[in-house]
Amino acid sequence: MKAFAQLLELLALTPSRNRKIEALAAYFASTVDPDRGFALAILTGALTFKNVKPAVLREVVTREVDPYLFALSYDFVGDLGETIALIWPHQGEGEALPSLSGVIELFNTTSKAELPGLIGSLLTRAGINERWALVKLATGALRIGVSARLARTALAAMSGKALQDIEEIWHGLAPPYGELFAWLDGKAGRPEIDPTARFHPLMLSNPIEAGDFEKLDPADFAAEWKWDGIRVQLIASRGRVSMFSRTGDDIAAAFPDVVDNVFGDGVLDGELLVGHHFDPAPFNDLQQRLNRKLATHKHLTQLPAFVRVYDLLFDEDADIRTLPWSARRTRLEAWFGRHPQARLDLSEVLDFAGWEDLAELRRRGADEHGHEGVMLKRKASPYVPGRPKGLWFKWKRDPNVVDAVLMYAQRGHGKRSSFYSDYTFGVWKQDEIVPIGKAYFGFTDEELKQLDRWIRQNTVQSFGPVREVRKALVFEVAFDSAQRSSRHKSGVALRFPRISRIRWDKPAAEAATLADMQIFLEAT
C-alpha cells in the first residue's frame, strides 16, 4: 500500500506528463501481480466497490469528528477525500496496512454492517499519505491528473508494445489484468477477447477555424448535421450487442431499447439520442437517461432511445476502416438496406454547393431546428482513431450570448479549491433577478483572483460554502441553446453555459431580462 500511496502522491504533484509516465512505468515494472493490476484498475476507474461509497466514509468520519467542524474543514479543503484523510483524529502505532490487493479484498468481502469499523481501523493504521490514498481508493475519485489513456501509455512505455494494440483489447479485459501483464512482459501472446468487447478507438473532429475554408475545397467534403446527443459505438456480433460511450464505457445496460433492437452484425459509429419516431428531443431529456445503470419503464416509454448512425467500421466481420469515407458510406447504406432497423437510422448527408451555401444551411438548421452545427468529413479519408488533423471538422453554430448578473458564488473543488470559482447568474424579472444558470470559471488566473476578491468584498450573506453577492456584476454568458425548465425559478435552463467575459463596465440594470430570453427558447 505504501508504494501505491507514494505513486499517487507523485502523480498528483508532478505537472510533467513525461515524468508521470516514467513513474507509472517504473511502478508497473517493479510491482508484483496482482497489486499492479489492481493499481491499474484504480487509475483507469475500472474498479468500484459495491458497498464502499463516499457516504459511508463520511459516516465513519462524522462519528469521530464534530459535523460542524467537518463541514468547515471540507469547505476549506475543497476535496472530500483529502478532508477525511487530514481530519482523521487517530494514529495507530505499529501494525502496517495490508497490501493493495489485501485492502481491496477487505473492501469486497466485508459486510455492509462491518464496513465502517473496517474503514476506521484502516484509517488509524495508515500513515498520512497512505490515508489519503486509502480514501481516494474508497471513493474512486482520484483527481490526480491521470487519465486512463495516460495509464495505458505508461503500459506501452514499459513494454514497448504499441498503444493502439493495448487500447483495442483494453475493454475486453478485467482487473487485475494478469493476462495483459503476461503479454506485456513477453511471457504470453496478446490476450484473445470476445469481439463484442473490442472497443475501437473513435475518430474525432477538430473545430474549424475561420482561415480553414480558403484552404479547403468544398467538393472534397461531405456534410452532416451535428447531433446534440452522445457519441456511441455499437458492436453487434452473433446476437450479442454492446454499446460504448466515447470514453469506452459500456453503457448497453442502460439502453435495452437500443441494444435489443440491433439487426445484423457490424461495428457502427453514431449519435445516441432520445425521442419518438426518430425525432430527437433536447439534450436535457437524454440526460435523464445518462449516468444510470438501468432504465425504468417510464424512461423506456416516454424517452425512447435511438442511434443515428453515421459510419461503419466493420461490415459484418470485415474491417473497412482503411476504406475512404465515401466507400464506407456506400457500405453503410447497403448494410441498412440488408437489415431493416427499428432503433437505428441513417444520418442524412447534406447537399450544399459551397461554403457560403453551407453556412446558410447551418444557420437555418440552428435557428429552425436547434441543430448544434454541421460536421464536415473528407470524402477520401479512412477512419483514423484519435483526432487526426484535416479530416473531420466540426462547425458549431454561433453561441448565443446574454448579459447576466452574478448572484451566488461557491468555492471550486479540485484545482480551483479555495477560490470562488463556481457562479450562479440570473436575469431580471421585473424588479428581481432570477437564476438562469451556473458555470465554472472560464477566465485567466488573474481574472479569477480579481473576481475572487470582488466576491469576498461584496458578500451579502453566506449559506455554508455559498456566498450571495451584491447584484452588481455583469457576466457575458455564452451558451449553445436555451430550454424550458420547471426546475429553475426562471423557467429557463441554458445548455453549455460558459462565462465569456466579465463586464466590469456594465451596470447591472442593463443586464438582460427574462423577456429577452424568449427568443432563444423559440429557436428550439
Partner 1 sequence: MVEPFLHRNLYVAPIDAFIDPPRPQARAIVTHGHADHARPGHGTVLATPDTIAIMQARYGEECAGRFEPLDYHVPLLVDGVTITLIPAGHILGSAQVLLEYEGQRIVVTGDYKRLPDRTAQPFEPVACDLLVTEATFGLPVFQHPDPALEVARLLRSVAAFPARAHVVGCYPLGKAQRVIALLRAAGYEAPIYLHGAMLALCALYEARGIGLGELCHALDVPAGELAGQIVIAPPSALRDRWSRRLPDPVLCMASGWMSIKQRARQRGVELPLVISDHADWNELRQTIAETGAGRIWVTHGAEEALVHHCRQQGLEAEPLALQAYEDGGEDED
**Smallest gap, in angstroms, from Cβ of residue 87 to partner 1?**
5
Q: Which of 1, 23, 3 is nearest to 146 (CA)?
A: 23
**Smallest gap, in angstroms, from Cβ of residue 468 to partner 1?**
18
**Smallest gap, in angstroms, from Cβ of residue 46 to partner 1?**
23
- Restricted to residues 424-463, the positions that interact with partner 1 (CB under 8 A) are 456
Stretch that binds partner 1, among 73-81, 311-319, 329-337, 509-517 (CB under 8 A): 73-81
Neighbours of 324 (CB within 10 A): 15
Question: What are the φ and ψ backbone dihedral angles of 417, each rounded to 5 degrees?
Answer: -60, 145
On whether the CB atoms of residues 84 and 135 are closer than 8 A, the answer is yes
Interface with partner 1: number of residues (CB under 8 A):
28
Q: Between 78 and 426, whose beta carbon lies closer to partner 1? A: 78
On whether the CB atoms of residues 465 and 419 are closer than 8 A, the answer is no
Neighbours of 447 (CB within 10 A): 15
Q: How far is CA 104 from the centre of its chain?
A: 26
- Restricted to residues 353-412, the positions that interact with partner 1 (CB under 8 A) are none
Q: Which distant-in-sequence residues (6+ apart) come within 8 Å of 199 by Cβ?
A: 167, 168, 170, 171, 233, 235, 244, 248
From the list 73, 326, 500, 524, which residue makes contact with partner 1 (rule: CB under 8 A)?
73
- Restricted to residues 255-274, the positions that interact with partner 1 (CB under 8 A) are none
Rounded Cα distance, 435 and 503, in Å? 18
Stretch that binds partner 1, among 82-90, 210-218, 252-260, 381-389 (CB under 8 A): 82-90
Q: Between 132 and 355, whose beta carbon lies closer to partner 1? A: 132
Q: Between 412 and 497, whose beta carbon lies closer to partner 1? A: 412
**Smallest gap, in angstroms, from Cβ of residue 78 to partner 1?**
6
Q: Which distant-in-sequence residues (6+ apart) come within 8 Å of 319 by Cβ?
A: 313
- Restricted to residues 401-420, the positions that interact with partner 1 (CB under 8 A) are 414-415, 417-418
Per-position x/- string for 89-108, each x denoting binding to partner 1 as judged by CB under 8 A, each - no binding: x-------------------
Rounded Cα distance, 314 and 148, in Å? 25
From the list 30, 50, 55, 68, which residue makes contact with partner 1 (rule: CB under 8 A)?
68
**Smallest gap, in angstroms, from Cβ of residue 414 to partner 1?**
7
Q: Residue 349 corresponds to which cell in the numbers above?
A: 448527408
H/E stretch holding 438? strand 432-440
Q: Which distant-in-sequence residues (6+ apart) come within 8 Å of 434 by Cβ?
A: 426, 427, 428, 488, 489, 490, 514
Q: Between 9 and 345, whose beta carbon lies closer to partner 1? A: 9
The SS3 call for residue 81 is helix
From the list 3, 56, 65, 349, which residue makes contact with partner 1 (rule: CB under 8 A)?
65
Q: How far is CA 252 from the centre of its chain?
A: 17
On whether the CB atoms of residues 327 and 320 are closer than 8 A, the answer is yes
**Smallest gap, in angstroms, from Cβ of residue 154 to partner 1?**
18
Stretch that binds partner 1, among 49-57, 76-84, 229-237, 379-387 (CB under 8 A): 76-84
**Smallest gap, in angstroms, from Cβ of residue 13 to partner 1?**
5
CA dihedral 381, 383, 384, 387 (to 10 degrees): 80
Rounded Cα distance, 319 and 200, in Å? 11
Stretch that binds partner 1, among 9-17, 155-163, 358-366, 489-497 (CB under 8 A): 9-17
Q: Between 107 and 132, whose beta carbon lies closer to partner 1? A: 132
Neighbours of 148 (CB within 10 A): 17
3-state secondary structure 376-408: EEECCCCCCCECCCCCEEEEECCCEEEEEEEEE
From the list 24, 42, 43, 77, which residue makes contact with partner 1 (rule: CB under 8 A)?
77
Q: Between 159 and 421, whose beta carbon lies closer to partner 1? A: 421
From the list 3, 72, 182, 230, which residue makes contact with partner 1 (rule: CB under 8 A)?
72
- Restricted to residues 105-144, the positions that interact with partner 1 (CB under 8 A) are 128, 132
**Smallest gap, in angstroms, from Cβ of residue 152 to partner 1?**
23
**Smallest gap, in angstroms, from Cβ of residue 471 to partner 1?**
22
- Restricted to residues 13-42, the positions that interact with partner 1 (CB under 8 A) are 13-15
**Smallest gap, in angstroms, from Cβ of residue 419 to partner 1?**
9
**Smallest gap, in angstroms, from Cβ of residue 3 to partner 1?**
14
Q: Between 190 and 416, whose beta carbon lies closer to partner 1? A: 416
Q: Between 79 and 271, whose beta carbon lies closer to partner 1? A: 79
Q: Which distant-in-sequence residues (6+ apart) come within 8 Å of 268 by Cβ?
A: 233, 234, 235, 236, 307, 309, 311, 312, 313, 332, 344
Residues near partner 1, by CB under 8 A: 9, 12-15, 65-66, 68-70, 72-73, 76-79, 82-83, 86-87, 89, 128, 132, 414-415, 417-418, 456
